[in-house]
Structures are given as C-alpha cells and as structure tokens.
Amino acid sequence: MKKQWIITIFIVYSVAAEVLLGSCSSAVKQESPTPSVLFEVEYLNYAWSYQQSGLYVDIAGNVYGYLRRKDQYWDGNDKTLFSYEELLNKFSVGKTLMKTIDAATLQQKIALGRQDIGQLTEPKYRCADAGTVSFWVYRVDTESGKYARTLLTRAGDVMQKNQTESGTALVNWLRSLDSAAYTQLPCFD
C-alpha cells in the first residue's frame, strides 16, 4: 500500500512538473542560434549555359567566393531550407577565400541580419538573359534546425528591393565586399 501511495505521488508530481515547465518554456521566446553561414550574394543565370557564382560570409568573418559552371549544377536553387551539409556542397566548387571581416563589423552585421527584414517590392521583370543577383541572410529555423534563407534584394532579370533600413544597409555592405562583381552587371541599379 505504501509503495502504491509513493508511486501515485510521484506520478502526480511528474505530471504537474511537466504541465508547469511545458507552459513556461513555450512562454519564453528562444532566440535562434547564430548560423555558421550568415550571408550570401548569389549570381544565377540559365541563359546560354548554367552559371552560379557568388560569395558567402561565415561565422568566423571569412568571405569566400564560389563558382559553378554548367556541369556543376546545384539542385537546391528553389529551396528555402537547407542543411549545413547542403550549403557546404553548394559553396565547395571553386571555393576561394577572398577576405576576412573584423569581429566588430561582423557582430554589427549579425545584429542587422536578426532584425525584421520587412516586405520586398513586387517583382519587376526588367531584362532578359542577364541573370539575377540575389542577396540573402541566413537564420537557423528553430523547428527544423536547418538554415532558412531570407531574400534581402534581387536585381538583374528580376528586381525586388528591400525597403527597410537594416535590409538596405546589409545589401550595401554585401555589395562592398566584391563591388566590381556585383555593381557592373546589366540591369543592376
């Protein structure tokens, strides 16, 4: 009898703790962890032959360039959630260290990337066969644990602009990392 009473008390306390702790944990907003890949500038063109190139910024402040050609197609272009391994695969072809960003600047850009990106303008089709340059910020999706990419701005064949101060500041900064490559493209203004 005493054993049953102890088991009953244990079950009651366990259920009460689960209810209390469960409700507390859902009320506390957990901040998404910082991803290893933070930002990306991506040029994508299917005209004449497949080309995909760009740069990305990692958590250590390294800026890497990558380059894929027609025989190196990456099949994740239409996705919005990626595993870390998928992103490493994307960036591995033609990977080159371009520069390193100092820690203070990187922390400032991470803070901007965590802000609300807001709405983009409606897509405008402006060119043909020029390709598209897209500026992305990566965040960790807390439900799936995967990388979620959010579009900041797109230019080239299709134009969409971010209208927030933080989004515009990030795009201008990303453009400055390799200004020759991403400001000389047709239809980019």
pLDDT tens, position by position, 43-57? 888 887 778 888 999
Which residues have C-beta within 8 Å of that of residue 96, sequence separation ≥ 6? 64, 65, 66
pLDDT tens, position by position, 88-135? 888 888 899 999 999 999 999 999 999 888 888 999 988 888 888 889
Whole-number percent of the chain with pLDDT over 90: 30
pLDDT tens, position by position, 124-165? 988 888 888 889 999 988 899 999 989 999 988 888 988 899
**The predicted structure's pLDDT at residue 182:** 61
Separation of alpha carbons 173 and 164, rounded Å: 14
**Residue with more model confidence, 24 or 1:** 1
Single pTM value for the model: 0.76
Q: Where are the domains of the chain?
A: 1-30, 37-183
Which residues have C-beta within 8 Å of that of residue 160, sequence separation ≥ 6? 120, 121, 122, 123, 124, 151, 153, 154
Q: In this structure, are residues 101 and 61 in contact, taking their beta carbons and an 8 Å threshold?
A: yes
